[in-house]
């Protein structure tokens, strides 16, 4: 199987991808697409099911495509994900040690954020390879139990009284605090169309502490626009992570699987081995969660965070104050373009595209000895590690974390340390 949930086999010598095929299956398939260098097959009959098969939980997963591994034994899913990380390093020619995938055993009900597209009263997810919305009624097995009743209620209200300008329903839950936030993404700046529903939401669900309107008229696949209007309650909610309290706004990055994020951050802190009085640079810091969790309870640590989203920087500053961490400053800037001064530890948590090569050059030129790389994309992690190796760094064990069970995504954390001095002339 690959990370998209396709079984991979050969038919007449050509590679063939089979949706829903599981390693070990014996299948009869029909070829439905012939491309230049691959085939696509459809299962017609399962002659012998794989021992790695499991019952599907979601009736929409075959058409949705969000859950690559619904129908696969969770233990085997972890094996696949470890293989995805190991394969990424092998493709870059790196003999890296890849640890076992860390999991807390929770497979469903872990997502503290959902974003459902809305069209003609339908609320759900886009079908695989289509722009058609699969109407799930605002309910998904991956969503937190705190979110599901709220999203199902909103979906029902939208069906009864459609709002033509509504594009997405975006909901976040602070599982550590029990707080929830609802954000309506609209094509128009028309808060009056949403105020009655916002009032009903806050009255019906005491856990809903924030209802906002986001205005996004642009016809793109980017969900959120830049303008936010408060409809009810606060403009943000709070959540707990590693014993700290965090303010999270709709625009801020926040890990969708809080218990697994705690395990990931604790592992990152262990690899960083930050000491009292040292200087820590947190690039792509979001709301400051990684750096603040590392710096907490270590006297004298100087923390600098860099993040490009202004709302997230504001949250980070508020989070430092909220947790009594005085020696922390947060800068609103592009982390890939920032200057690198003298730090004892650098931690990076970039988006899927990874680090800019120029940033890696600047980190290497700074003489930094320890860097902790948190990655949501094994391919760019391995690519960037190859560049660090060319600058004289060594790669420690890459530890995968299953922050997104049932999907093809896997997070990793690796320690990168300076191994030798490379001179050019």
Its sign, for the CA torsion 183, 130, 139, 286, is negative
Largest CA distance in the chain: 72
Which residues are known catalytic residues? 376
HSE at residue 88, side-chain half, CA atoms within 13 A, is: 25
Write out the H or E segment, with its range, that includes residue 374. Answer: strand 370-375
Lowest-pLDDT choice from 126-130, 165-169, 291-295, 380-384: 126-130
| pLDDT on residue 64 | 86
CATH architecture of 1-53: Beta Barrel (2.40)
| pLDDT on residue 137 | 87
Residues in a beta bridge with 212: 183, 230
Whether residue 388 contacts residue 381, with contact meaning beta carbons closer than 8 Å, is answered with: no
The tens digit of pLDDT for each residue in 252-273 reads 888 999 999 999 999 999 999 9
Both tokens of residue 113? 């954020």
- The per-residue pLDDT of the chain, averaged, comes to 94
Both tokens of residue 119? 């069209």
Both tokens of residue 155? 């979906």
Rounded to the nearest angstrom, the gap between the alpha carbon of residue 182 and the centroid of all alpha carbons in its chain is 19
Looking at CATH, the fold of the domain delimited by 87-104+256-418 is given as Rossmann fold (3.40.50)
Whether the pLDDT of residue 75 is over 80: the answer is yes
What's the CA gap between 159 and 60, in Å, rounded? 20
| pLDDT on residue 420 | 59
Lowest-pLDDT choice from 121-130, 178-187, 375-384: 121-130
The tens digit of pLDDT for each residue in 386-396 reads 999 999 999 99
Written in H, E and C, the secondary structure of 285-326 is: CCCCHHHHHHHCCCCCCEEEEEECCHHHHHHHHHHHHHCCCC
Residue 349's alpha-carbon distances to 249, 264, 302, in angstroms, are: 19, 12, 19
Give residue limits of the domains in the chain.
Answer: 1-53, 87-104+256-418, 113-241
The tens digit of pLDDT for each residue in 43-65 reads 999 999 999 999 999 988 888 87
Would you say the CATH fold of 113-241 matches that of 1-53? yes
Lowest-pLDDT choice from 312-316, 320-324, 379-383: 312-316
Give the SS3 label for residue 203: helix
- Record the pTM: 0.91
HSE at residue 388, side-chain half, CA atoms within 13 A, is: 29
What's the CA gap between 144 and 168, in Å, rounded? 18
| pLDDT on residue 127 | 87
| pLDDT on residue 275 | 96
In CATH terms, is domain 113-241 a member of 1.10.3720.10? Answer: no
Whether the pLDDT of residue 425 is over 60: the answer is no
pLDDT band at 87 (very low <50, low <70, confident <90, very high): very high
């Amino acid at each position: 199987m690959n990370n998209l949930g396709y079984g991979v086999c050969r038919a007449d010598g050509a590679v063939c991808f089979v949706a829903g095929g599981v390693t070990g299956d014996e299948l009869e398939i029909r070829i439905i697409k012939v491309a230049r260098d691959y085939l696509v097959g459809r299962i017609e009959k399962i002659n012998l099911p794989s021992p790695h098969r499991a019952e599907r939980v979601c009736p929409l997963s075959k058409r949705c495509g969000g859950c690559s591994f619904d129908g696969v034994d969770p233990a085997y899913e972890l094996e696949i994900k470890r293989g995805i990380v190991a394969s990424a390093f092998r493709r870059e020619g790196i003999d890296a040690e890849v640890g076992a995938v860390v999991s807390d055993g929770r497979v469903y009900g872990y997502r503290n954020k959902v974003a459902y597209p809305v069209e003609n009263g339908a609320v759900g997810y886009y079908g695989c390879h289509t722009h058609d919305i699969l109407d799930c009624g605002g309910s998904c097995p991956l969503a937190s139990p705190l979110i599901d009743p709220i999203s199902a209620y909103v979906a029902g209200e939208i069906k009864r009284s459609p709002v033509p300008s509504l594009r997405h329903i975006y909901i976040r839950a602070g599982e550590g605090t029990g707080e929830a936030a609802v954000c309506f993404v609209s094509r128009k700046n028309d808060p009056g169309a949403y105020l009655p529903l916002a009032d009903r939401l806050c009255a019906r669900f005491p856990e809903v502490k924030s209802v906002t309107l986001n205005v996004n008229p642009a016809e793109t696949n980017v969900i959120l626009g830049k303008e936010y209007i408060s409809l009810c309650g606060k403009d943000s909610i709070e959540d707990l992570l590693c014993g700290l309290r965090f303010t999270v706004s709709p625009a801020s990055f926040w890990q969708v699987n809080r218990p697994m994020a705690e395990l990931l951050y604790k592992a990152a802190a262990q690899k960083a081995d930050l000491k009292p009085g040292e200087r820590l640079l947190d690039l792509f810091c979001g709301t400051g969660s990684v750096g603040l969790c590392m710096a907490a309870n270590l006297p004298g640590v100087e923390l600098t965070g860099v993040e490009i989203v202004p709302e997230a920087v504001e949250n980070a500053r508020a989070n430092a104050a909220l947790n009594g961490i005085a020696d922390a400053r947060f800068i609103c800037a592009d982390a890939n373009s920032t200057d690198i001064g003298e730090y004892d530890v650098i931690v990076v948590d970039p988006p899927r595209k990874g680090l800019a090569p120029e940033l890696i050059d600047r980190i290497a030129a700074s003489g930094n000895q320890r860097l902790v790389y948190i990655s949501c994309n094994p391919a760019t992690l391995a690519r960037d590690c190859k560049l660090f190796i060319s600058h004289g760094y060594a790669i420690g064990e890459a530890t995968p974390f299953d922050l997104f069970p049932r999907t093809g995504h896997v997070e990793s954390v690796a320690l990168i340390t300076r191994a030798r001095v490379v001179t050019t002339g």
